[in-house]
Structure 1
Amino acid sequence: MEIYKLNNDHHYKNITGIDAPTITQFHDFKGQELSKAWITPQFDLLEHVATLSTEKKSDRSKLADFDLRCYGNILIVKSKYNKLFAGLAIEFLPVKIVSLDEEFSFINVLTIVAAINFTGLDYKQSMDMLKSDNINFDKAAITGNHLFRDKKIINFYYCTGHFKKIIEDNQLKGLHLKKAGIAS
């Protein structure tokens, strides 16, 4: 079974947290439910908050009509698409992108599993594998989980062909799904 890593499609505008606590709070999210204590974080388009004029200029030429964006452990989707992901082990929590009128949701992935098989690899071999598109995923650990994060390498989102098909069938824009490896 092929596994894909979620990356941003760089044809679309980037977002960033308006303040440091917005971004740093996401580092503590490791698959736990968050709805009871959720305070809606605010983001904006990078071009509106960037301090470097080169960042502002390069982002202005990008498209703003994205449906999904992924930044490390932050995955957002236009709220009108939440229903497409019914049945996945996730919860949707509101986020605000101040420059955009659309409503967005943070996709809190509740599936954190030991998905990457590091058995028999030393540190260098592990790093080489992670940099390649030939990561060895543990099929038993991810069976039934179509969108997940790895327990050790938690900053990235991975998906199966099922999730990829949802994205493609609905022509959702803003993500680039790159083959990361095989689950065996």
Structure 2
Amino acid sequence: MTIYKIEADHTYKHISAKEETTIHQFRDFKGQPLTGIWKTPRFQLLENVTPVKSEKNSEQAKSNGFDARNYGNMLFIKKEFDHLFSLPNVELLPVAIESGEPNFSFLNVLNAIEAIDFSNLDYQQSMKMLKSNNIRFISENIGELEIFRDKKLINFYYCTDAFKTLFEINDIKGLKFEEVGKTL
């Protein structure tokens, strides 16, 4: 099975947290359920936040019509697509993006798993595998999951063809899928 890393499509505008504390709270999210403690974070388009003129100009030239965004270790999707992501290992939580953007949901992928096979690899070999986009994934641990996070590389979202196809069929814009490996 082919595995993809989910990344931001840089032809669309980026978002940024409205407050520094918003970013810090996401550092602790490592696959645990958040429903009981969730406070809706607020984001806005980077062009409205950045004081750097060249960055602001660059962002203004990008397309505004995104349906999904990847921001650090967070993955957002327009609320209108929530019904497509009612997966057993996904918790959908509200997120506000200002500047006229519709409401979004944070896809909190639950239960980070040991997905990448680092067995019999030293540090240098592990890094070489990751950089080469020839990552070995453990099929038994992934099972039927369509989207997942690895315990060791928690900041990245990985998915299968089924998840990627869901985006393509529904013409959801704002993310790209980079093929990074196969399951063993």
Q: Unpaired runs of 5+ in structure 1?
A: none
CA 170–88 in structure 1, closer or farther in 2 if over 3 Å, else same: farther
Secondary structure of the residue that 1:28 maps to in structure 2? coil
Question: Which residue does 1:29 correspond to in 2?
Answer: 29
RMSD over equivalenced CA pairs, Å? 0.9
Task: Report the equivalent of 2:170.
Answer: 170
- State the alpha-carbon separation in 1 of the partners of residues 75 and 182 from structure 2: 23
> Counterpart in 2 of 1:11?
11
Q: Deviations over 1:36-92 (max 9, x none)?
A: 111110100000001211110100011111011112311000000010112341111
Q: What amino acid is the match of 2:151?
A: K
SS of aligned partner of 1:83:
helix
Give TM-score scaled by structure 1 length: 0.97
Contact 1:91 1:109 in 2 (8 A): yes
Separation in structure 2 between the aligned mates of residue 161 and residue 137 of structure 1, nearest angstrom: 14
Confirm or deny that 1:182 pairs with 2:182: yes
Tell me the residue number matched to 2:68: 68
Q: Percent identity?
A: 49
CA contact (8 A) 1:3 1:180 kept: yes
Shift in Å, 1:100: 2.4
Q: Residue 38 of structure 2 aligns to which amino acid in structure 1?
A: W
> TM-score if structure 2 supplies the norm length?
0.97
Contact 1:96 1:103 in 2 (8 A): yes
Task: Give per-residue Cα distances to partners, 1:113-160, cap 9 Å, x unaligned.
Answer: 000000111111111111121101011110111100000000000000
Distance of 1:119 and 1:131 partners within structure 2: 17
